Amino acid sequence: MKLKLWQIDAFSSRPFGGNPAAVVPLESWLPDTVMQAMAAENNLAETAFFVRTANGQYDLRWFAPTLEVDLCGHATLASAWVLFTFLQPSLEEVRFHTRSGALIVKRGHGGNAMSLPSGHAEPFDVPAGYAHDLARALNVSEPVEFHVAEKGGAGTRSLIAVWDSQDQIVAISPPGNLMELLDLMNCRSLIVTAKGDGRPYDMVSRFFAPHYGVPEDPVTGSAHATLTPFWAKRLGKKMLTARQASPRGGDLSCTYAGEHTILQGDCALYMTAEIHI
């Protein structure tokens, strides 16, 4: 069997920026074990698979290197870009049916606009000493507060640690093993964030998901579906500019629209390939 694959750098206008995702269109679903093996072979944060169900409508699934995930923003944006650019260039809008409901991506200037379900974060009390231990793991000062999002990050329970300056987010060193610290809080991923300094960002963040085989994700759309409502309410504005300050880095335009968050970003083609299985 031969399958087409596109590797797309999402939330970037050029290759080598943003977050790479593999996009694999299918005529019908392959066994889950095969798709998981392909995602492990690709060794990217996510590999997206989709099957057409009607004109402009697709079933969409995402696989990290170690397991299937419930929500992935950058691979959704990349999948829409492949459709708009190569497979159905007449489309102005695509609707993906996913584990997280219907996700709509609209063609736009300066990047396509993707609608994701808004996440909700609650204040979270951590045990004594936990802030110190996390700060030590990240080689930075202690966070000033903690929250937890049931559907943030990669689609499950995420710990959110807040610092008081964007410089502290940028200064974080690639952490060692965060799994034990996350397991103590019954969380699968970590979002670190701070208010931006306004030149030009309203918020900055980074995202770590070692349980999914992703030590640090370069740019995370699903995390911004939680961060956008979080910072929109604090800053008193619905439209925000965001920077994910990973080594690759990426910029997002974010709009809080109540039950949904709209993320707009560009994509760049890195590679086209053919898979033989």
pLDDT digits (tens, 9 = 90+) for 128-145: 999 999 999 999 999 999
3-state secondary structure of 170: helix
Judge whether residue 176 has pLDDT over 80: no
pTM exceeds 0.85, yes or no: yes
Q: What sign does the CA torsion over 192, 194, 199, 202 have?
A: positive
Catalytic hit among 27, 46, 122, 145: 46
Clarify whether 274 is annotated catalytic.
Answer: no
State the pLDDT at residue 143: 97
State the pLDDT at residue 246: 94
- The DSSP code sequence of 201-218 is -SEEEEEEEGGGTEEEES
State the pLDDT at residue 212: 85
State the pLDDT at residue 177: 72
Q: What is the DSSP letter of 65?
A: S
For residue 118, the cross-strand partners are none
State the pLDDT at residue 122: 95
Judge whether residue 154 has pLDDT over 60: no
Residue type present at position 39: A
Domains in the chain, CATH or no CATH each: 2-116+264-276 (3.10.310.10), 121-261 (3.10.310.10)
**Distance between CA atoms of 77 and 99, rounded to whole angstroms?**
16
Q: What is the mean pLDDT of residues 36-59?
A: 97
State the pLDDT at residue 135: 94
**Sole residue written with tokens 């689609």:** 155
Encode pLDDT of 232-252 as tens digits. 999 999 999 999 999 999 999
